[in-house]
Chain A
Amino acid sequence: KNQVEQSPQSLIILEGKNCTLQCNYTVSPFSNLRWYKQDTGRGPVSLTIMTFSENTKSNGRYTATLDADTKQSSLHITASQLSDSASYICVVSPISNFGNEKLTFGTGTRLTIIP
């Protein structure tokens, strides 16, 4: 069964500090991995997408890395801001007949930034 596991479940850090969120997956064969940010009470918003051939992708203060051999990804947030408080969801797409429709979602890491 395809699975995506994220750690930690929750994290609290001081504003201005860096943090790293982890994602391990068992999806195979693998097409791409995405990180989404979900603010409380809102829908998820895409941060990064990496195909199996990419090792790293940045979006401002967010940097995602991918190791397809060990099936691990991380999301690094630099110089955190209060607006970074959200859930961060790792999403993996297997190769399927329909393309990317059948995604496997992690349960997310709840990040809280305190002033």
Chain B
Amino acid sequence: DVKVTQSSRYLVKRTGEKVFLECVQDMDHENMFWYRQDPGLGLRLIYFSYDVKMKEKGDIPEGYSVSREKKERFSLILESASTNQTSMYLCASSLGVGSPTDTQYFGPGTRLTVL
């Protein structure tokens, strides 16, 4: 079974703090993704990566950066957390074969609260 793990289930930070969210997958997947999920809005893509050290902006990259130094690990960084970044953050990975049936597997999520 594919396993995607995220470093924290719950996180509370203060405005202005630098925040790191870590995601690890154990299936040698090429693609990894970071989403945020807010009530009534559905999942929105922040960044994705299709290879080590490669990244692409998603729909809402402002205020975020990412790092992928190793294939299995994809980090989301909030350089200076703000209250409007309070959200559920979901990491996902996929094989990346370009097939129409390539599936994204999600981690359990990190609920981040910025005070």
Chain B, Cβ-Cβ closest to A93? B100
CB within 8 Å: A-B pair count: 66
Q: Using Cβ atoms and an 8 Å threshold, which residues of chain A touch B96?
A: 99
Whether A99 pairs with B102 at a CB distance below 8 angstroms is yes
Whether A43 pairs with B42 at a CB distance below 8 angstroms is no
Q: Using Cβ atoms and an 8 Å threshold, which residues of chain B touch A100?
A: 94, 98-100, 102, 104
Q: Using Cβ atoms and an 8 Å threshold, which residues of chain B touch A60?
A: none
For residue B63, give the distance in angstroms from its CB to the closest CB of chain A. Answer: 20
Chain B, Cβ-Cβ closest to A9? B40
Interface residues of A in 90-112 (CB under 8 A from B): 93, 98-103, 105-108
B11 within 8 Å of A by Cβ? no
B56 within 8 Å of A by Cβ? yes
For residue B54, give the distance in angstroms from its CB to the closest CB of chain A. Answer: 11
Known contacts A98-B50, A105-B42, A105-B43; decide if A45 and B106 are in contact (CB<8 Å).
Answer: yes
B108 within 8 Å of A by Cβ? yes
Given A43-B107, A46-B105, 16 extra CB contacts under 8 A: A34-B103, A42-B108, A44-B43, A46-B104, A49-B100, A89-B42, A99-B98, A100-B99, A100-B100, A100-B104, A101-B56, A102-B45, A105-B42, A105-B44, A107-B40, A108-B42
| Smallest CB-CB A-B distances: 9 pairs | A43-B106, A99-B98, A105-B42, A105-B43, A107-B42, A32-B100, A51-B100, A46-B103, A44-B106
- Residues of A in contact with B (beta carbons under 8 Å apart): 4, 31-32, 34, 41-46, 49, 51, 89, 93, 98-103, 105-108
- Residues of B in contact with A (beta carbons under 8 Å apart): 4, 31, 33, 40-45, 48, 50, 56, 58, 90, 92, 94, 96-109, 111
